[in-house]
Amino acid sequence: MKEDILRQIGTIARAFDSIANIEFKEMQLNRGQYLYLVRIKENPGIISDHLAGMLNVDRTTAARSIKKLAQNQLIKKENDHENKKIKHLFVTELGKKLAERIEKENAYSNEIVLTGLDQKQRRELAALLQKVEQNASVNWRLVKNGENREY
What does pLDDT average to over the chain? Answer: 92
Strands (DSSP E) contained in 17-62 are: 46-47
Question: Is 91's pLDDT higher than 60?
Answer: yes
Averaged pLDDT for residues 112-129: 96
Query: What pLDDT score was predicted for residue 104?
Result: 93
pTM: 0.83
Largest CA distance in the chain: 57
More reliable by pLDDT, 44 or 5? 44
Buried b or exposed e, range 109-131, using 16+ CB within 10 angstroms: beeeeeeeeeeeeeeeeeeeeee
Residues forming beta bridges with residue 114, ordered by sequence position: none
Query: What pLDDT score was predicted for residue 2?
Result: 67
Distance, C-alpha 100 to centroid of its chain: 15
Question: Is 1's pLDDT higher than 60?
Answer: no
Other CB atoms within 10 Å distance of the CB of residue 4: 10
